[in-house]
Amino acid sequence: MPRLTPQDIPSHFDIIVVGSGAAGLYATLCLPTHLQVALVTKNTINMGSSNYAQGGIAAAIDPSDNPVLHLEDTLKAGVGLCDEESVKFMVENAPAAIAHLVEMGVAFDRKEEKLAMTLEAAHSRPRVLHSADTTGRAIIDTLVAKVQERSNIQVISQAIALNLWLTPLKDRVQGISLLHESKIQWLKSSVVVLATGGGGQIFAQTTNPEVSTGDGVAIAWRAGAVLRDLEFFQFHPTALTKTGAPRFLISEAVRGEGAHLIDEEGKRFAFEYHSAGELAPRDVVSRAIFHHLHKTATNSTHARVYLDLGAIDPDRIRYRFPNIINVCQQWGIDVFQEPIPVAPAAHYWMGGIACDLMSQTSIRGLYAIGETASTGVHGANRLASNSLLECLVFAAQLSQIEIQPNLVAPDSDISQVNSDWNTDMEQIEAIRQMLPSLMWESAGISRQGELLNQALYQVNRWRDSLANFEIVKFLANLLPNQTIELNSTNAEQQLRKVAETLNLLDLGYLILKSAAWRTESRGGHYRNDYPQTSNHWNVHTLVQGDRFWKSPTKIKSEPSKIKSIGS
Ligand code: FAD
Ligand code: SIN
């Protein structure tokens, strides 16, 4: 598909979908075909967490399974904070979503004729469908091919959404501002769908790709949308940890197939922390590794832990994990001969833009889907392989969307800017480097009130100091419908970097503040100064602008006995 230049892009669409992961791609395919859709994405079309998904996608399809069991496992993992109605909706619609993927051509692994299913941590049944260890790629390749067949969808890649365009009364959305090919322009639309993925890049250690800077959540917050449960971040226990290597995920499915966590002395330690050992819930295993590393470190050496695949049949490893074998090999690790060095890393953000069952946010015309959204299905901790499923099930809701006619944008004023922001950039880049380390130390696996507040103070100082830079003032003072041509691609790169840094700083503030406020431990949020789960905190945290509050209703901590699901 040829890339669109700013001259080719119409100034008006029915719908703009921002983000081309599983959620954004699937949404565009589910939208009615008479609508003109822009699919805006800041890198190539297939770049996002979805493409890297390994373990698979959950659905109660196996004869030994049913949606009630899937619902119960999901509610249990969410530690009292799931929205039962949303979970019920997701698990009931899971088989249909899988059937649609299969119909479109996604090649899930099969056992004889039937779809093969594996077990992952905290699932009571084998219900994770997979395509070797590159399930995400199998799904994304298929969805991308389908999107490219559609004449009503215009893909605008290497384009970063900067902000929402609200009506003058600020009562609904009417488009976005976009940085693309050295130009800032305003695209009008009746509906905007944010599908910008997660925000793992806010932490120094993450499995998320570079595009995961939480842009959608920050953009929605600045526009006044209600956000929910921002303190809940999931840390995956087993990311490759090798000097120079990215934190490549070693799928939970590897432990599901029988791999053991061992320490430097070869001792299997996970059962010291939980009776389910390596297959305990993700937050438990991450904390077990975190504590074990602290316990076994000496003054002179950092401790290490490893994932040992020795208990798995080598043929099974070759069949199930070809990509993990390859990537480890690239970093000098032969998984058949030696254990893989691993450590926890930020993986999935449960919090996000509060949405209802129709994926609608608190701002009219604004929808959010995928990891950016908080639909209530994950609560305080996501059950493995439920996120790809959530992307599909809630994106499909957009098939029912009704578009309010939106006036065609008047011609925009065009102005040029002679940008010289080089002197600003050094300091901004330094902050961009320091923020993830600060967040990892203060809001990582084990949190503490004093450290959270110190980090909050630092983040606010950075936010204040950045506000004085010319490049930041330039971004803050963009006028709606004013097209600006930049004088160099360097200026575009600088603006991109600044936009992402500002987003990350806003999110840092929001996560730290929410985490400092929740004085208990639950799911992905662990406070070593409040290690117990408290009934008083059986509520969501909500934020809009600088107002933070708790959800008014007390949420059930135990799943109700739903018998009639699917009937
Ligand atoms: P993404 O797939 O991350 O897509 C976000 C898109 O938004 C990208 O196209 C990005 O470029 C674009 N974007 C972001 N900001 C902007 C902007 N400002 N302007 C324009 N475009 C923008 N979940 C499972 O269920 N099963 C698994 O096996 C699994 N494995 C995983 C393995 C890894 C390594 C990771 C990182 C995650 C895994 N997850 C898994 C989680 C799951 O992959 C994600 O939660 C899910 O894919 C998110 O999909 P998404 O469409 O919301 O976002
Ligand atoms: C994994 O394969 O371990 C990741 C699965 C997930 O995040 O759901």
* Residues in the ligand 2 pocket, defined by CB under 6 Å: 54-55, 249, 251-253, 348, 384-385, 387
How confident is the prediction for the chain on average, in pLDDT?
93
Q: What is the DSSP letter of 528?
A: T
pLDDT in tens, 543-557: 999 999 999 765 454
Ligand 2 pocket mutation pick from 74, 135, 252 by most atoms within 8 angstroms of CB: 252
250 with 342: CB under 8 angstroms? yes
Question: pLDDT value at position 554?
Answer: 54
pLDDT in tens, 140-151: 999 999 999 999
pLDDT in tens, 162-198: 999 999 999 999 999 999 999 999 999 999 999 999 9
Measured CA distances, 452 to 493, 512, 563 (Å): 32, 6, 43
pLDDT in tens, 317-353: 999 999 999 999 999 999 999 999 999 999 999 999 9
Query: What atom of ligand 1 comes closest to residue 160's alpha carbon?
Result: 19
Closest C-alpha to 163, from 5, 16, 369: 16
Residue range 210-222: mean pLDDT, rounded: 98
Whether the predicted pLDDT of 6 surpasses 90: no
Query: What atom of ligand 2 comes closest to residue 348's alpha carbon?
Result: 7
Token pair in block for residue 479 = 């006028």
Q: Which residue has the tokens 């949404």?
A: 27
Q: What is the DSSP letter of 74?
A: H
Q: Residue 171 Cα, ligand 1 centroid: separation in angstroms?
A: 29
Q: Residue 120 Cα, ligand 2 centroid: separation in angstroms?
A: 8
Q: CA torsion sign, 534 to 536 to 539 to 545?
A: negative
250 with 91: CB under 8 angstroms? no
Whether the predicted pLDDT of 566 surpasses 50: no
Ligand 1 pocket mutation pick from 49, 90, 180 by most atoms within 8 angstroms of CB: 49
Whether the predicted pLDDT of 564 surpasses 50: no
In our burial notation (b when 16+ CB lie closer than 10 A, e otherwise), range 512-530 reads bbbbbebebbbbbbbbeeb
Question: Looking at ligand 1, which residue's alpha carbon is closest to its atom 25?
Answer: 385
- Those residues with Cβ within 8 angstroms of residue 299's Cβ, 6 or more apart along the chain or in another chain: none
Neighbouring C-beta atoms of residue 564, cutoff 10 Å: 7
Question: pLDDT value at position 308?
Answer: 98
Ligand at shortest distance from the CA of 94: 1
Domains located in the chain, CATH noted:
234-346 (3.90.700.10), 413-535 (1.20.58.100)
* Residues in the ligand 1 pocket, defined by CB under 6 Å: 18-24, 40-43, 47-50, 52-57, 135-136, 160-161, 195-198, 207-208, 211-212, 215, 249, 348, 370-372, 385-388, 391
Token pair in block for residue 270 = 């996970």
Which pLDDT band, with edges at 50, 70 and 90, does 415 fall under? confident
Query: What atom of ligand 1 comes closest to residue 130's alpha carbon?
Result: 28
Q: How far apart are CA 122 and CA 563, in angstroms?
A: 21
Which one is catalytic: 255, 282, 287, 432?
Answer: 282
Q: How far is C-alpha 250 from the chain's CA centre?
A: 18
Question: pLDDT value at position 558?
Answer: 46
Query: What atom of ligand 2 comes closest to residue 388's alpha carbon?
Result: 8
Beta strands in 81-157 (DSSP E): 110-111, 114-115, 117-118, 128-129, 153-156
Residue range 408-421: mean pLDDT, rounded: 78
The DSSP bridge pattern shows strands 183-194 and 366-368 to be: parallel
The DSSP bridge pattern shows strands 482-486 and 413-417 to be: parallel
**Poorest-pLDDT segment among 437-441, 477-481, 509-513:** 477-481
Ligand 2 pocket mutation pick from 120, 324, 381 by most atoms within 8 angstroms of CB: 120
Q: Residue 49 Cα, ligand 1 centroid: separation in angstroms?
A: 3
pLDDT in tens, 107-134: 999 999 999 998 888 889 999 999 999 9
Q: How far apart are CA 362 and CA 306, in angstroms?
A: 45
Q: How far apart are CA 352 and CA 23, in angstroms?
A: 14
Residue range 68-81: mean pLDDT, rounded: 96
Q: Residue 314 Cα, ligand 2 centroid: separation in angstroms?
A: 22
Q: How far apart are CA 376 and CA 229, in angstroms?
A: 9
**Poorest-pLDDT segment among 36-40, 49-53, 275-279:** 275-279
The DSSP bridge pattern shows strands 547-550 and 541-544 to be: antiparallel
pLDDT in tens, 278-323: 988 889 999 999 999 988 877 666 789 999 999 999 999 999 999 9
Q: Residue 198 Cα, ligand 1 centroid: separation in angstroms?
A: 6
Whether the predicted pLDDT of 268 surpasses 60: yes
Which pLDDT band, with edges at 50, 70 and 90, does 562 fall under? very low
Q: What is the DSSP letter of 116?
A: P
Q: Residue 130 Cα, ligand 2 centroid: separation in angstroms?
A: 11
Whether the predicted pLDDT of 490 surpasses 70: yes
Per the annotation, the verdict on 247 as an active-site residue is: no
pLDDT in tens, 497-508: 999 999 999 999
Q: CA torsion sign, 450 to 453 to 457 to 462?
A: positive
Please report, as a single letter, which amino acid is at residue 521: S
Q: How far apart are CA 305 and CA 116, in angstroms?
A: 31
Token pair in block for residue 415 = 């102005």
Query: What atom of ligand 2 comes closest to residue 383's alpha carbon?
Result: 8
Closest C-alpha to 62, from 108, 121, 128, 109: 128
Closest C-alpha to 503, from 173, 235, 220, 166: 220
The 3-state secondary structure of 418-449, one letter per residue: CCCCHHHHHHHHHHHHHHHHHHHHHHCCCECH
254 with 307: CB under 8 angstroms? yes
Question: pLDDT value at position 405?
Answer: 72
Q: What is the DSSP letter of 403?
A: P
